[in-house]
Amino acid sequence: MMKKFFVFGNIGKMSEVPKSGGQSSARRVIKGLEDMGYEMEPIVRRRCVMEGKLIHFLETQSFAIIDLGKIIKHLLFGNRKCSAFLMLTYGGKLAPYELIITWVVRMLGYKSVTYMKGGQFMDFYNRGSKFYRWIVKKNMDMQTQVWFEGTPSLDIVKRISNAHLVYYPNYVVEENIANVVSERPKDRINLCYFGRVTPEKNVDVVIKAFDMLCKKYDDVFLTIIGGSGFSKEYVKDIDAMIDNSPYKSHIVRKGLTPFAEIKEIMQSQHFFVFPSKERCEGHSNSLNEAMAQGLVPIVSDYHFNRAIVGDDRMIVDGYDPQAYADKIIQIRENYDLKKLSIEMRDRVKTAFSYNVVNKRIYEELKKI
């Protein structure tokens, strides 16, 4: 009977606050498996931070060698019969290196599980060479199980491999799912965005769409919450856009904010505007959490967003601010916002809650 996972991925130092949604999601996986009774031994993947193609390449290669050494050190004297190796990956440029890791893990006598997180795997695979696709297939075929954060990625591998595939979406703990969807203000419409403020998240699109809405309505308000340690210039640009907006008196801007406070703010918000094009975007924490509190999401048709929302009325093709404004107008004027709010909360509750997801994963783990 399996009792332990050696888990390798971008986890970050467990004693520190997560530096990205990916790290938060990875730790949520670890916590979920611990709650099921498994012992977890993290092996932290070194994170590349250098800029410039050549130096980034050299950093990647050196870190790959160091990380492989760490993996071997952890596994060499472990209990093969009762343990498995879990690799959290995004299926990108490091695919050849990850195939080597899988080969080493299997040679050492361990069962291997890969968790394909994020959505960039689809981009790499769809435009990848025959060699890249061969690497992916070879790696999948060697796995005991392959977990997928999104069904679009799972559908790709289903066509090429006979591996045991498992849908393991990001989830929200029950305490962060609204028991009763709160009554929103009826004399105004509140839009919000919370998450990292980076160019890939297209926060500028949110502000531009808001400005367009304000030309039609005088009761629209916007709250933007978040900061970024990696895109300080973009944060300055966003703050300048707000200062220069003719409707800045209708905008609330907050930096890094505790989730308890964000959760309180969400009780009065109608729409969560999310035009993300983040290349690693998978099952977004922010999108999950907003829907769990009954916000109506207006999202880009990117990676897993459509599959998460499960309602094409809320999907926007592309990143034109006018398209986001038009979508909000359409929903405001033609649909019952309270009904949509309850539907979004219920979708998270029935498909992406801690209990629902982990109960199913627990049954899958019995097959290893």
Chain centroid to CA 48: 19
Rounded CA separation 198/20 (Å) = 12
pLDDT digits (tens, 9 = 90+) for 220-266: 999 999 987 678 899 999 999 999 999 999 999 999 999 999 999 99
Rounded CA separation 122/107 (Å) = 29
Per-residue pLDDT band at 50 (split at 50, 70, 90) = very low
Homologous superfamily (CATH) of 175-351 is: Glycogen Phosphorylase B; (3.40.50.2000)
Q: Where are the domains of the chain?
A: 4-171+353-365, 175-351
- The answer to whether domain 4-171+353-365 and domain 175-351 are alike in fold is yes
Rounded CA separation 358/352 (Å) = 10
Q: Which CATH architecture fits 4-171+353-365?
A: 3-Layer(aba) Sandwich (3.40)
Q: Where are the beta strands (DSSP E) in 195-310?
A: 220-225, 251-254, 271-274, 296-300
Rounded CA separation 354/356 (Å) = 6
Q: Please tell me whether the overall predicted TM-score, pTM, comes out greater than 0.85 for this model.
A: yes
Type of residue at 336: D
For 297, residues 6+ apart whose C-beta sits below 8 A from its C-beta are 271, 272, 274, 287, 290, 291, 309, 314, 344
Burial track 3-37 (b if 16+ CB lie within 10 A, e otherwise): eebbbbbbbbeeeeebebbbbebbebbbebbeeee
Rounded CA separation 227/197 (Å) = 5
pLDDT digits (tens, 9 = 90+) for 71-110: 999 999 999 999 999 999 887 778 889 999 999 999 999 9
pLDDT digits (tens, 9 = 90+) for 195-214: 999 999 999 999 999 999 99
